[in-house]
Chain A
């Protein structure tokens, strides 16, 4: 044990400095994690509301909806009826009355729900957790330094994100309701309030995303600087753990991509408030709606890789550790990520195949998009190669790692259908896309996030998460996830459009009612399964079994730091002697050799 030789850098700090306006990268990381989990529930709740509408169109919601007698005859039967009675009698236009009279979701509100669901999940859940939480917590610890290069910027990054979230949630409560033009905010629907009736909601959406953009920008500068300048002695670039590589690449993508979105949002705000016409074509001239799409997707495609690369990084940590084997093809893993990040800049047109972009561009973008399958395949094969002849431990983080790989395979393969322009003519804007998105972002990124939380929890909070609960959560999530999203491929093949509030309005979709009900029931199961995770998370923070310093016997530097990790992380900055994945080295007694263990040290059997 090395614990006792670490001098504690902790000095007494006030509660506010320590937990709220903290400069410590670990605290900021945990703040981002809790922030992301809270927003995960907001975003998930919105999804359950609109899933109800899709399964039971125009029927009142359960529990808060009015009874049929009340709707038909005005007869108060249930408690909910009494609530509605009160709402209708009051002179004020109550929020509930406007968005879901008697518990029936209006088409306007439906559009707000899916718009905000996607916006929140992408910008306020997955990015804050992957980049904000794991990035902040792991980067200094894994490269062996005491903190981020710019702690004050780091704190700013978090509090800007909080401000952005407040502005975003406020949008629901302004007159006219929230943004309802989709998370992609296509102009001119988004650029002129006359088309949606949404006034300040959409402005707040844009302002909030601008704030979130600044937060990411500040964070990314910090990450890049820290990784380039502050690695521990011996920590060469090619000795960095893959999760650090992924965060490094993602920080560069964020730095380059977010300003594009920010400028598009600024132009959008001008269009809405100052009467410019950047994104609307008028008979007298003006701009072009396609300009918005080009700007949005020039940002948006790199953004989707921002959502997945850190997930790939996390999986690349979990799989070697629990296979007790080096990662297969370390360098090819790094080059594949760089290739994905690079190709990510020249594929944005695949979102615009049917948009009216010149048809010749379709051929170009199809080719580049399908090429992304190559580095994706390389990564998948390397994960399999890592398990080959390993000694696989089925811990809960590993289960998530395996789920990540298998779900990412499905998401990557469904990408080929849509990258193929002739097939995309048919499946564009159908549920096939929705299935694809969720296989990569939920099946991919979120499983990696869950695995990462359980894996690093002992380092974050000094305790284990309850394993029985974690396992129940995993299996429920895995099954309910597939029941929810796999059938969406079938809906897509049946040409079920996305973003429609009531599929029963279409003759050719009549046969899908049962499937929509099944999906909704699975979605509710999926939603409730997440309560287990959150309960486990907060309960284990205080009541979990105390964890030792390196419970999973991992080589990377974060496990050299004592648990709980003190301010300043390491007593003495470790020196790095080898790569991060030296597991089961022949001739060694122990099946792992920490990166910081000096050369030719007598083999130890771990802690």
Chain B
């Protein structure tokens, strides 16, 4: 069911997200069916019938302990599986080092500015290249993004990468990803940023290495 609606995943860490998504989906589905099923059975079985009185039951300490303990255990197990995935996506100390590409992405009402540092690999020099709304990266390569904003908060969202990160003015937030499939993907802004929020849209172009090299050649001959 879930896969029918989830867009295809094209990032290395996306599979981990999807696995958790599925695990929680099954967990909550089972809990839902058990709880609602029990409810329905009770409603039918214990409906008011002439001459039948309810049983006087004030509670059960054993049961309270059982379900408190059971939910606590489930919750902690789920959390244990989630920490590493989260750290993998968001903890800068755990990013793969030596990125193949570094880009600065800057939100501004209502566009994404993509700044490439150029051959010298330094921002703020003459060979920088600024593109509006078009991000180009090679496939199967580690990309680091310096995410920022020049005005309000925006949010860099690429559904197919399972990646979202708010962009804040006057702050540089590091984001990474590695795309596993070439293609053109949309980069909507996911945080309300003003009247042009709807339609604030960039594109992530994931090229094969050869295409990417050609693109670089063209820009910085």
Contacts and interface: CB of A to CB of B under 8 A. Distances in A.
Interface string A319-331: 0000111101111
Contacts of B188: 497, 500, 506
B121 interface: no
* Residue of B79, B152, B165, B193 with most chain A CB atoms under a 10 A cut-off: B152
Given A374-B68, A388-B57, A591-B54, A422 B20 contact: yes
B216 interface: no
B109 interface: yes
Nearest to A422: B85
A366 interface: yes
Nearest to B75: A370
B191 interface: yes
A425 to B, nearest CB: 5
A266 interface: no
B54 A494 contact: no
Contacts of A280: 169
A283 B148 CA distance: 13
Contact of B67 (A197, A381, A585): A381
Contact of A490 (B5, B60, B82): B5
B48 A196 contact: no
A374 B86 contact: no
Contacts of A380: 35
A306 to B, nearest CB: 23
B99 interface: no
Q: How large is the interface on A (under 10, 10 to 19, 20 to 34, 35 or more residues)?
A: 35 or more
Given A422-B89, A494-B5, A499 B197 contact: yes
* Residue of B83, B91, B188 with most chain A CB atoms under a 10 A cut-off: B188
B163 to A, nearest CB: 7
B146 interface: no
B42 A326 contact: no
A393 B53 CA distance: 12
Contacts of B36: 406, 409
A387 B59 contact: no
B52 A391 contact: yes
Contacts of B67: 377-378, 381
Interface residues of B, number: 81
B64 A387 contact: no
A140 B52 CA distance: 35
A12 interface: no
Nearest to A324: B54
Contact of A359 (B32, B59, B92, B168): B92
A373 B31 CA distance: 12
A564 B76 CA distance: 52
B186 interface: yes
A290 interface: yes
Contact of A416 (B24, B57, B72): B24
A380 B63 CA distance: 13
A180 B195 CA distance: 8
Contacts of B214: none
Interface string B73-90: 001101100110111011
Contacts of B89: 422, 425
B33 to A, nearest CB: 11
A371 B90 contact: no
Interface string B25-49: 0011001100110110011001111
B164 A429 contact: yes
Interface string A541-571: 0000000000000000000000000000000
Interface in B111-154: 151-153
Interface in A466-523: 490, 493-495, 497, 499-502, 505-508
A417 B28 contact: yes
Interface string A61-87: 000000000000000000000000000
A392 interface: yes
A586 interface: yes
Given A378-B67, A506-B186, A423 B21 contact: yes
B173 interface: yes
A356 B21 contact: no
B155 A354 contact: yes
Nearest to B25: A417
A289 interface: yes
B91 A359 contact: yes
A507 to B, nearest CB: 6
A402 interface: yes
Contacts of B21: 417, 423, 426
A324 B92 CA distance: 57
B56 A586 contact: yes
Given A385-B63, A505-B201, A584-B53, A425 B32 contact: no
B28 A416 contact: yes
B218 interface: no
A378 B79 contact: no
Contact of B17 (A180, A367, A426, A586): A426
* Residue of A328, A421, A430 with most chain B CB atoms under a 10 A cut-off: A421
Given A380-B35, A409-B32, A107 B55 contact: no
B71 A323 contact: no
B6 interface: yes
Contacts of B20: 420, 422-423
A282 interface: yes
A405 B39 contact: yes
A363 interface: yes
A189 B194 contact: yes
Contacts of A289: 153, 168-169
Contacts of B60: 328-329, 385
A158 interface: no
Interface in B142-187: 151-153, 155, 157, 159, 162-166, 168-171, 173, 186
Nearest to B185: A508
Given A189-B152, A377-B67, A394-B47, A500 B198 contact: yes
* Residue of B48, B54, B151 with most chain A CB atoms under a 10 A cut-off: B54
A388 B165 contact: no
B219 to A, nearest CB: 26
A170 B72 CA distance: 48
Given A426-B159, A494-B5, 5 more contacts: A110-B198, A329-B60, A394-B43, A499-B192, A502-B198
18 contacts: A181-B192, A182-B192, A325-B56, A356-B166, A370-B75, A378-B67, A387-B42, A392-B42, A406-B39, A421-B86, A422-B20, A495-B157, A497-B157, A497-B190, A500-B199, A502-B198, A583-B54, A584-B54
Which 8 residue pairs of A and B lie closest in terms of their CB atoms, listed nearest first?
A: A281-B170, A329-B59, A495-B159, A500-B198, A389-B55, A501-B198, A422-B85, A584-B54
